Amino acid sequence: MRSQLFVPGDSEKKMSKGLECGADCLFIDLEDSVAAPNKETARRMAREFLAAARNRESRPLLYVRVNALDTGLTDRDLDEIMPARPDGVLLPKSQGGADVQHLAAKLAVREAENDIEDGVTSICCVATETASAVFGLASYRGASRRLSALTWGAEDLSADLGAETNRLEDGTHAPPYQLARTLTLLAAVSAGVQPLDTVYPNFRDEAGFRRECIAARRDGFTGKMAIHPAQVPIINEIFTPPPAEILRAEKIVRAFLDDPNAGVIGLDGEMLDKPHLERAKKLLARVAGAKGRGE
């Protein structure tokens, strides 16, 4: 999935608008964008929305961002939404692999109670929202087969650090957040899951947003979260490899298939060996898995 659009769970309008804007995935939010008195209403609205949206012929993946494990609200969130079978759960303030296992156990119980196939509900974690969470990044590897993606957050991390801002004057992230970004990328690749770049809150600044998407793709992120529908087509465009790149990757894979004993080959005047083949295969896998699932 290239684009994941946040939609507040207490806004019927934004949830249904989200379905139409081309996002590969919706992150239906029960956490920070829903005020405490609205949590119960949002759970019910998210459940009704999920139940209806699931049956559409073509639809994005539907994840729900629950409240963090230490809030005491997560079980109630899951009790309400799991009967409507979300494709996945987004876990905020995750501290590491142990939190994934904790959530996985909660999901397994609800899957059993609701006659849902065991293990089908995926988990994506927001993995850098506190200073201690950053030190847990190495522990995601091998935590659970449910883990589908890791992403990072600069807003909550800057609150935890007591920082004045998380961005420099030119709009790029300050060093502590660049470190969190890089470590999330490495942790996701190490865990064999999708690395997703964080949100760009200034949703009227298209040029800055574009720059951040391009930098994320350059470094290996395979998608980016959005907070506004206008950001979605830009993400989809930038995280879809251009046809020439796809053709080139297919050509590289074919060249190695045609010569299975070769460690190194020459193609169009360029030396290619194992890392080039791996990169080409990764790109093709990304193309195959780019779109959200429509059932």
Report yes or no: 86 and 61 within 8 Å, Cβ to Cβ. Answer: no
Which of Mg ion, ligand COA, none does residue 14 bind (CB under 5 to 8 Å by kind)? ligand COA
**Closer residue to Mg ion (CB): 32 or 79:** 32
The DSSP code sequence of 81-96 is HGGG--SEEEETT--S
Task: Identify which of residues 29 and 99 has a Cβ nearer to ligand COA in the complex.
Answer: 29
**Residue 156 binding: pick among Mg ion, ligand COA, none (C-beta 5-8 Å cut-off by kind):** Mg ion
| Binding positions for Mg ion, rule: CB under 5 A | 32, 156
Token pair 């087969």 in the structure block, residue: 145
Residue with tokens 């990328």: 185
Give the DSSP H/E element, type plus range, for residue 272.
strand 270-272
Q: Return the one option of Mg ion, ligand COA, none that residue 33 interacts with (CB less than 5 to 8 A, by type).
A: ligand COA
Minimum CB–partner distance for residue 90 and ligand COA (Å): 10
> What is the distance between the alpha carbons of residues 209 and 202, in angstroms, rounded to a whole number?
8
C-beta of 47: minimal distance to Mg ion in Å?
A: 22
Q: Which is nearer to ligand COA, 10 or 110 (CB)?
A: 10
Residue 28 region by backbone torsions, left for phi larger than 0, else alpha for psi between -120 and 50, else beta:
beta
Binding residues for ligand COA, rule: CB under 6 A, are 5-8, 13-14, 17-18, 29, 32-33, 199, 203, 227-229
Question: What is the rounded CA–CA span in Å between residue 71 and residue 291?
Answer: 33
Q: What is the DSSP string of 23-92?
A: -SEEEEESSTTS-GGGHHHHHHHHHHHHHHHTTSSS--EEEEEPPPGGGT-HHHHHHHHGGG--SEEEET
Give me the least distance between CB of 174 and ligand COA, in Å please.
18
Q: What is the CA radius of gyration of the chain?
A: 20
Q: How far is the CB of 281 from ligand COA (least distance, A)?
A: 33
Which residue, 88 or 229, has its beta carbon nearer to ligand COA?
229
- Asked if 245 contacts 229 with a C-beta cutoff of 8 angstroms, the reply is no
Which residue number, 155 or 270, has a Cβ lying nearer to Mg ion? 155
Nearest approach, Cβ of 259 to ligand COA (angstroms)? 49
Report the nearest approach of ligand COA to the CB of residue 1 (Å). 16
Residue 69's binding partner out of ligand COA, Mg ion, none, with CB under 5 to 8 Å set by partner kind: none
Using CA atoms, how far apart are residues 138 and 191, in angstroms rounded to an integer?
Answer: 8
**Could you say which of Mg ion, ligand COA, none residue 227 binds, taking C-beta under 5 to 8 angstroms by partner kind?**
ligand COA
65 versus 276: smaller Cβ distance to ligand COA: 65
